[in-house]
Amino acid sequence: MGKSVIIINGPNLNLLGTREPEIYGAVTLKDIEALTRAHGETLGLEIDFFQSNKEGELVDAIQGAAGNHGGIILNAAAYTHTSVALQDAIKATGVPTIEVHLSNVFSREEFRHHSYISPVAAGVICGFGAKGYVLALDALADIID
Ligand code: CA2
């Protein structure tokens, strides 16, 4: 424990690289997994990678981080804007969490400007595509140290 991070991805992110490349780029979730595993190695961080389309499974993954991971990187996708359950889970576990979005949510529709995750996140990164996950790993490495 301590030197391990879980990267949690929410609904529809399994479709990355197949649709809407103008918003999310051509990168697939598998590419992001490979990128973050490689970068994690350079930081001495072990990476667990998880995606679910189900809110309850995301809650379970956040709860499961307590005692097992030193930090969480969370792209909750659409649940970012709706889920009190995810906010409660992050608060309850107390594991440092960095919120990541591929797109710049503030340059998009108004409903994407509100996040239930941000108030309980250590920080937020958005608009840098897949690189956001790498930046989040750098930030978590400092927090975990
Ligand atoms: O920019 C992000 O990373 C988002 O979390 C992506 C979510 C969106 O609801 C958030 O507002 C911002 C949507 C993920 C859906 O991903 C797709 C990928 C390919 C094709 C269709 C959807």
pLDDT in tens, 70-129: 999 999 999 999 999 999 999 999 999 999 999 999 999 999 999 999 999 999 999 999
Whether 16 lines ligand 1, by a CB cut-off of 6 Å, is yes
Q: Is the per-residue pLDDT at 1 higher than 80?
A: no
Whether 144 lines ligand 1, by a CB cut-off of 6 Å, is no
Instruction: Please give the distance, rounded to the nearest whole angstrom, from the Cα atom of residue 1 to the centre of ligand 1.
Output: 30
What Cα–Cα distance (Å) separates residue 44 from each residue in 28, 30, 55, 138, 145?
Answer: 24, 21, 30, 11, 11
Phi, psi of 120 (to 5 degrees): -110, 10
Pairing state between β 97-101 and 123-126: parallel
pTM: 0.97
Instruction: Please give the distance, rounded to the nearest whole angstrom, from the Cα atom of residue 145 to the centre of ligand 1.
Output: 31
41 CB neighbour count, 10 Å cutoff: 11
User: What are the structural domains of the chain?
Assistant: 4-144 (3.40.50.9100)
d(CA 95, CA 22): 33
101 is catalytic: yes
